[in-house]
Structure 1
Amino acid sequence: MVNAHPFQINVPQSVLDDLKERLADTRWPDEIKGSDWDYGTNLDYLKVLTNYWLNTFDWRKQEAMLNQFTQYKANVDGLAIHFIYGKGKGPNPLPLVLTHGWPDSFFRMYKIIPMLTDPEWFGKDPADSFDVIVPTFPGFGFSDKPSKPGFNLGRVAELWHKLMTDTLGYQHYVAAGGDGGAAVSELLGQKYPDSVLGIHLTDVAFQASLNADPKTFTEAEKKYSDRMQQVGMQEGAYAMLQGTKPQSLAYGLNDSPVGLAAWIIEKFRTWSDCDGDLESVYTKDELLTNIMIYWITESIGSSIRGYYEETTQSSYKPGGRVNVPVGMAVFPKDNPPPREFAERGLNIQRWSEMPHGGHFAALEEPEALADEFRAFFRTLRK
């Protein structure tokens, strides 16, 4: 392994003490009585979560759990990139780079990693094992923050390719992800087809949308386009703000742990298959562990800045295409497109419409997603 060294999470106690003081001193806003989540994060729920965070949540326990994964930091193009490296236990593990998105983190993958590295433990064929590499986006968590403008998704894909080939020494590998991780996986397949055997996505990222011509839409595509326009009007304000004025938002989120939690958990509730009940899908510990990764590293500002970089300097060009084999698992609460829309930019070889799940599939439905990875990538192992 080149330019990499072992890493373990060890948050200074002073950071945790400061957090407790801030939680205890929260200045709460008012709320329209009976408004539930209509105006955004519900006040009563956030107070319950904050009380748990202050009085019950044990970061050291979560830290120890995360440190059970083998982790490294590697110098890639001058940036220290944090990654989990799970070695496969089957006869011929296939290298798989798994990429998270926003507002999650490498923690999105914590349930699925052992299912992929050691399928026999879960009653599956050991021949389907993977070497699983889960890097942390630059500007997120324990990876370095880019200090110059222009660090868009294409630059992330370049770093991942160098991590896989130069640092880890793989000649060929596969990629998968959702949200921003779907975009990076798309770009890996598009830019490095000699190395990337195939990719698996849970979201259609950008290329298909960029190639879409409304004049040629099928009825299913028209319905999808209308639905996405409506979703954009109702739910897209966060992306507009993060894509235009991320620094203005960063001050409040970086200073207030409750403000940070409110910004993140509202997305988890809206985008997950939970019927409005967050804790039917996630535990409080899971929600707070993901939030803590942003808080302890002070990375919320640099994470949302990525929206601005991609908005002002897109990594995609009209007419581009991902020609390596693509598998897609679309989840019902994630506004799935029709297959013909995805095929406008992707070489779809496997299309699975999943019965349950939403945007954070690896956290919500890890067993089902692991089965999809095994089935699709099995065809590419030769």
Structure 2
Amino acid sequence: MQHALLIAAACLMALLSTVGAALPYPILPPLFASGVANGLNSFMDLPPKSLLGVALAINPLGLLIGSAVLGPLSDRFGRRPMMVLASLGAACGHGLSALALVAESYPLFLFARFATGLLEGRSAVARALLADHLSGQLRLRAMSWLNGAFYLGWLVGPLMAAATLGFGLTVPFWTAAAALLLSALLVALALPREAASTATTSWWQVARDQHSLNLLRHDELRRLFIVQLALTCGVTAFYEFYPLWLVEVAAYDARGIAWMTAAMCAVMTAVSLFGGRPSAIAPLRRASWNAMGVACAVGTVAAGNASFGMAAIILFGVPMSCYNAVVPGWCAERFGDHGQGAVMGLLSTTFCLANILMAVAGSLLALVDTRLVLGLGALLAAWASWRLQGWHGEMAASQASEAAR
């Protein structure tokens, strides 16, 4: 019963937090690429696609910092208080985003999106919470369910955007703020109070000396970071620019993008319910196959055919959710001695860094053709698949050699 309540609390927090993060993505591409001038897409007379790229990158920049710091901070001060405080702060960030849209202030919108991202890095805390209290197959299944909750938030978020856009452009952001306030309340009620660690003296010392990027001192974790960065660059190239592809190739508006995103996330959520089941196949081999599936889906969208591309967008959820069901659990088992908060923070930090890199590079490539961004993403995911397969082979050979001795 205790484990069930723990898993339910973590999954519900994940669901409500990603609802807020998912709301803006169907809204931004039409706002910047519709051709109708406004204070946001005409800032300093810069190209609207470049402004969109910066707007897409600024939230992951905050996530990058937050993911690197919030996980280790939760190792020091406890999972519960970090979840509550981060949710409250992110709610304020969404409210400020709504005010920036009303004022059509591009700088204020960037600041609000950065602050929101900074405090939405708590996904590492939720994963660390489960890694702390669970083990074995239950941990793997719980990690898969947690991923399913995150994906379900990406489903509910676009649906909520489609349902509330008719009431005004800012309504989705106020809805996100309300969801995050509810998230904070539920976490405060469901999780027990924790005693803070005495290992360090201040939050600044933790943020400065124990952030997740310190793990890159270790060879194997550095290797994980490089492979994961390549894969997530492919994934974020898809996440950030398939809405623009839908606008340019399929003439979709915000509602159409929201429904397409909802269909993809519904597939991801359904697959995640079963993705954490035991398997006789080695984790890295499974991860390699799933990474290649991601590469094929993104490459199909890059090819430019509208019908095949839209089918690939929806089916992208199958390999992606399977990959995310395998890798966090494997990392928790293999690298848990480094601190679960720090390890899960490294995975989240890598994803955020990929968001930033692909938002910047993609905004430049999209000036030529949006399909170039997606093509680059497919190549990076394919390279990650190849490296994961090689890593699996090396580990298998090493284990065979040790067994022979």
Report the TM range for the smaller structure's normalisation: under 0.3
Is the strand fraction higher in 1 or 2? 1
Is the helix fraction higher in 1 or 2? 2
Higher relative contact order (CA 8 A, sep 6+): 2
TM-score scaled by length of structure 1 = 0.23
